[in-house]
Amino acid sequence: MMIAAASPSHKTIQCLFLFIFLVAEAVPSRAKVPAVIVFGDSSVDSGNNNRIQTILKSNFEPYGRDFEGGHPTGRFCNGRIPPDFISEALGLKHTVPAYLDPRSTIKDFATGVCFASAGTGYDNATSDVLNVIPLWKQLENYKMYQKRLRKYVGMEKAEEILREALYLMSIGTNDFLENFYVLFSRRSSQFTVEQYEDFLVGIAENFVRQLYELGGRKISLGGLPPMGCLPLERSRNIMSGSGCVDEYNQVAMDFNVKLQGLVIRLREELPEIRLVFSDLYHILLDVANKPSSYGFESAAVACCATGLFEMGYLCDEHSPFTCADANQYVFWDSFHPTQRTNQIMSDHLMITALSEFLV
């Protein structure tokens, strides 16, 4: 599936982002974003899984080889992930620390904190698959963070930070690929895919409402990527040429439409909310379909190991097949983008859904 040729190139995105950044510098800010607060899965987990009992970790080489200092952090990437780039674009810090990182303190968390956990989903049953942090527990950790923040900066300052912070949510892919579509899935016997989408949207709505009640106002609800174009799914489609799996991409698009409807409805019902839908589907699909237009050599296979099915512990530092330059690849492992792709997607979000928070 190809999208229209009118899709913006990486160079165009960079120019537009620079323009908006300069405008933001010149125009007085309506309400500066003092912190970035993150919920979700491996797409935004900056290392929380390092501290829990799960096999889904990435705190070993070659993960993090292009991160500052060249060391693994628990990010499922060769370097930085979207919250890091977004934080930097908002004039905050270079990286967003994991809440469970013992090296970080409330001083570090005051300008940004990540509660995400690789392998989780909206559905509690998804987090049970690999024993990771469910979404409800992420919210409980956030409540503890609120208490710590109030003690650190005082009640008035803490409420200002919590009210003006940007809340990023990136979650949902695992609900489908690691739960609903797996063999002998309990959920697929309970729901049709359309019903499961509605079930997850209900959970998303409840989470946003709870976050709103806790003081969150600027919230980005992330949509699903083109799941069928992940190297892991393309490798399963090898008998038909290793193209993207259209069924999975269609589910992602359908689910995103439902999330967009939720955003519209909640904006009408919750008077002070500034809720936006962050759509990465089309930009990542364009990159996956036309990698050379963005300066990549490959999108069908990943950098790490054979690039077909490896992630986590299967992404072995001793694999002779791991690429020398991750910047030439759209995907780092079979499920996660490279640092360079993450920057392209983050720049895209900053000129689209998140642009209203720049000025």
Rounded distance, CA 314 to CA 50, Å? 16
> Other C-beta atoms within 10 Å of 54: how many?
18
Rounded distance, CA 353 to CA 348, Å? 8
| 94 among known catalytic residues | no
**Which is catalytic among the residues 10, 41, 42, 334?**
42
Q: Contact 210/216 with Cβ under 8 angstroms?
A: no
The one-letter amino acid at 174 = N
To 5 degrees, how large is the angle CA 161–CA 21–CA 64? 75
**Which is catalytic among the residues 58, 175, 286, 336?**
336
| 42 among known catalytic residues | yes
Q: Contact 101/117 with Cβ under 8 angstroms?
A: no
Rounded distance, CA 83 to CA 170, Å? 10
- Dihedral pair phi/psi, residue 168, rounded to 5°: -105, 130
Q: Which H helix or E strand runs over 221?
A: strand 218-222
| 198 among known catalytic residues | no
Residue with tokens 């038909």: 240
Residues forming a β-bridge with 40: 170
**Which is catalytic among the residues 66, 84, 333, 347?**
333
Of 57, 67, 10, 116, the residue nearest 330 (C-alpha)? 10
Round to the nearest angstrom and report the end-to-end CA distance of the chain.
Answer: 36
Catalytic positions, written as ranges: 42, 333, 336
